[in-house]
Amino acid sequence: MKVAFLQTSPLFGKVRENVEKAVRRLNSIDAELVVLPELFSTGYQFRSKKEALGLSEDVTAGYATSRLIEAAKAGKMHIVAGIAERAGGRVYNSSVLVGPRGVVGVYRKAHLFWNEKKIFARGDTPLKVYNIGKARVGMMICFDWIFPEVARTLALKGADIICQPSNLVLPFCPQAMITRSIENRVFSITANRVGVERRVKGRALEFIGSSQIVSPAGTVIRRAGGRREEAGAADIEPRDARDKHITPLNHIMKDRRVDIFEL
Ligand code: ACM
């Protein structure tokens, strides 16, 4: 199965431009699953809830999702992408999974990072795994990485591939996701953005790129640089994520000592 990340550099507030640029790139990627960054259509650094509400969209009728579905149809692919989702007067930092037949699933970011707490409503969707034919796919978003329970839950629910749209500013995540892959024996695809946003005085945000595809054994199959927009693809065997043995006598799920864990 061919999978890919698309590392982009969104311009804040330019939804149509950001979406159309991403769609042009999607049309040239030969992959069955492509992951885009968090908030790929809007940019990241909102100044207020009101501003976020103005740029957000309904998943079923929104511009970004509709164009992604068209791209998925044209490329016979599935796409995971981060959007600002409007629902019931709230805005969620969400990730959509779309395929040629439309929206397959939506995940609303559970763990909001720093000032996101002032903008977005806390995610209220369960961690779910979707069967897209060749693989079972789960979604998490950026800062969710620091809560190992997220990746663990997706793995326990049967994910072969964890897709992680991101807008990383701290340097730890790409290395940490190697561990998330090893400890759960799953593939992980992190799609981060590059560029700088200076929308709040004294709080410039520089995004670190370094999008990557990691195997269940912890091999970094592809990793992007930190400055440019770029796509990275890999040919993977999703079934490699289904053998949870680390040694013939160690099964990472069955060996868990839940009797002594604090849950
Ligand atoms: C982040 O969660 N966007 C750092």
Q: Two tokens at 162?
A: 């964890």
From first to last of its 263 residues, what are the pLDDT tens digits of the chain?
999 999 999 999 999 999 999 999 999 999 999 999 999 999 999 999 999 999 999 998 899 999 999 999 999 999 999 999 999 999 999 999 999 999 999 999 999 999 999 999 999 999 999 999 999 999 999 999 999 999 999 999 999 999 999 999 999 999 999 999 999 999 999 999 999 999 999 999 999 999 999 999 999 999 999 999 999 999 999 999 999 999 999 999 999 999 999 98
CATH number of the domain enclosing 198: 3.60.110.10
167 lines ligand 1 (CB under 6 A): yes
Integer Cα distance of 66 and 41 in angstroms: 12
Q: Is residue 30 part of a domain?
A: yes
User: Ligand 1 atom 2: the closest Cα is on which residue?
Assistant: 143
The residues that are catalytic are 38, 109, 142
User: Is the pTM above the cut of 0.75?
Assistant: yes
Q: Is residue 109 part of a domain?
A: yes
Q: Is residue 156 part of a domain?
A: yes
Integer Cα distance of 133 and 56 in angstroms: 30
CA of 72 to the centre of ligand 1 (A): 26
Ligand 1 atom showing the smallest separation from residue 44 Cα: 3
Q: Is residue 80 part of a domain?
A: yes
Yes or no: say if 142 and 167 are a contact pair by the CB < 8 Å rule: yes
Q: Is residue 47 part of a domain?
A: yes
Ligand 1 atom showing the smallest separation from residue 113 Cα: 2
Residue 173, domain extent: 2-251
The preferred substitution site among 40, 118, 143 for testing ligand 1, maximizing ligand atoms within 8 Å of CB, is: 143
The preferred substitution site among 166, 193, 211 for testing ligand 1, maximizing ligand atoms within 8 Å of CB, is: 166
Distances (CA, A) of 140 to 74, 179, 254: 26, 15, 24
Ligand 1 atom showing the smallest separation from residue 170 Cα: 4
78 burial class (0-12, 13-18, 19+ CB within 10 angstroms)?
Answer: buried
Q: Is residue 32 part of a domain?
A: yes
33 lines ligand 1 (CB under 6 A): no
Q: What is the largest CA-CA distance in the chain?
A: 56
Domain count, the chain: 1
CA of 204 to the centre of ligand 1 (A): 14
CA of 58 to the centre of ligand 1 (A): 22
DSSP string, 103-162: EEEEEE-SS--TTHHHHSPPP-PPP-EEE-SS-EEEE--GGGGGSHHHHHHHHHTT-SEE
Q: Is residue 238 part of a domain?
A: yes
112 lines ligand 1 (CB under 6 A): no
Q: Is residue 256 part of a domain?
A: no
Integer Cα distance of 169 and 151 in angstroms: 20
Ligand 1 atom showing the smallest separation from residue 168 Cα: 4
